[in-house]
Chain A
C-alpha cells in the first residue's frame, strides 16, 4: 500500500533508508525542523539547516521517487534561548516561498517553560502573518499531558488560529481525545519506548476512528524505525480493518491536510 510519512527527519537517516522506504510503499514524506542532538550556536547554523531541508533533501528523496516536503522553525528545546530564537524566526520568511515548504513546525513545548511558551506564541504570530499551516510537537513522557494542555490553551485562546490548519503531533492515549475534540488534526508517533507502538496506535484508531488522524515514524538520529508505518499497516490488516480505513490514516489524511498549504505535490504513480 502507498503511504505518506508525515513526520520523519531524513537529514539524520541514510540514503539506504530512502530506498527501503520507497520499496515499502512510501511515496511522500514531510520533514519538520527539529533539534539536531546539540544546541546550535548561531542563526547561521539554522540557515544552513533550512537550506538542507528545502534544497538538499528533496533531491535525495527524488532519487527514489519520494516527494519531500518540510516545515521550518526553531524547535522547542533550543527555544529556551530566546534571543537566538528571535533571530531564527526573523530569518524563516526567506524560505517560506520555496517549493515543498508546508508551514511552521515542529513548534511546541519541551519542558513547558515560560521561554518555550513565549517562543511558541511568536511562532504562531509568524504562521498567521504568512498564512502557514502549523505542525506541533508535544512534549515527551511525564511532560506530555501538561504541555499538550498548555499548547491547546495557547492555540484555542488565539482567534486567528483555525484548528483545521493545525496538526498536533505525538498524541497518546491521554491527549488524543482533547486534540480531536477541539477540532485539530492529530498525529500518532510510532516510536519505541517513549511514544506509541503500532498496537497502541491501532487501539487509538479503534477508539477514535480515522477522521483527522495520522501516523508517523518520527525517524531521526535516536532509536527509531523509519519503516514503522508499514508495521502499523500490517497490524491493522491483522485486525481485519477495512483497506479504505487503513489508507485513510496512512495516505488520505496526510494528503488532505498537506493540501491545505497549497504546496503539496500529490505523488504520481
Chain B
C-alpha cells in the first residue's frame, strides 16, 4: 500500500527515531542517577524496569511485528476460562461463531 521505499521511510523518520532513542537513554540515565541508587530496584519498579529492557530486546529482533510484540509484552494475560472464574453463563449461545480459545 505504501508507495515509499525503505530508504525514503528511513530518511524521513531517522531524526525523529534518533530523538526518541535519546529520550529513552536519558530516562534510563535518570533512573540510574535517582535517589536511592545504586541499590537495586524492587517490587513494581523492578518489574517495570525489566519490561523496558525486554521491550528494547524486541526492538533488536529482525521481525516485522515489533510494535505488536511490545504491546503484548505490556499486556496482562488472557485467561480463556475467565467466564467460569466469574461464574458467568453463556446465554443465547452461538453454535456457528463460538470460538474455542
A267 to chain B, nearest CB (A): 27
- The segment out of B23-31, B34-42, B52-60, B68-76 that lies at the interface is B68-76
- CB neighbors of A among B43-81 (8 A): 65, 67-68, 71-72, 74-79
Contact A156 B72 (CB under 8 A): no
Known contacts A121-B88, A159-B95; A173/B1 CB under 8 A: no
Q: How far is B4's CA from A241's CA once the two chains are assembled, in angstroms?
A: 10
CB-based A-B contact count at 8 angstroms: 84
Q: How far is B53's CA from A266's CA once the two chains are assembled, in angstroms?
A: 49
Contact B92 A160 (CB under 8 A): yes
- The segment out of A6-14, A33-41, A202-210, A217-225 that lies at the interface is A202-210
Contact B75 A159 (CB under 8 A): no
Contact B68 A145 (CB under 8 A): no
User: Hey, which chain A residues are within 8 Å of B7, CB to CB?
Assistant: none
Contact B71 A174 (CB under 8 A): yes
Q: Indicate the size class of the contact surface on chain A.
A: 20 to 34
Residue total for B at the interface (Cβ-Cβ under 8 A): 31
Contact A174 B2 (CB under 8 A): no
Contact A145 B75 (CB under 8 A): yes
Known contacts A143-B76, A240-B3, A241-B1; A157/B71 CB under 8 A: no
B91 to chain A, nearest CB (A): 8
- Interface SS of chain A: helix
Q: How far is B82's CA from A157's CA once the two chains are assembled, in angstroms?
A: 13
Additional A-B contacts beyond A158-B94, A159-B95 (19; CB < 8 A): A121-B88, A121-B91, A141-B74, A142-B74, A145-B71, A146-B78, A150-B78, A150-B82, A153-B82, A156-B99, A157-B93, A157-B94, A158-B91, A173-B68, A182-B99, A200-B67, A203-B67, A240-B3, A241-B2
Write the residues of chain A forming the contact surface with B, with a CB cutoff of 8 angstroms.
112, 114, 117-118, 121, 141-146, 149-150, 153, 156-161, 163, 172-174, 182, 200, 203, 205-206, 209, 239-241, 245
State the 9 A-B residue pairs at the shortest beta-carbon distance, nearest first.
Answer: A174-B71, A145-B75, A240-B3, A159-B94, A173-B68, A114-B86, A149-B78, A173-B67, A146-B76
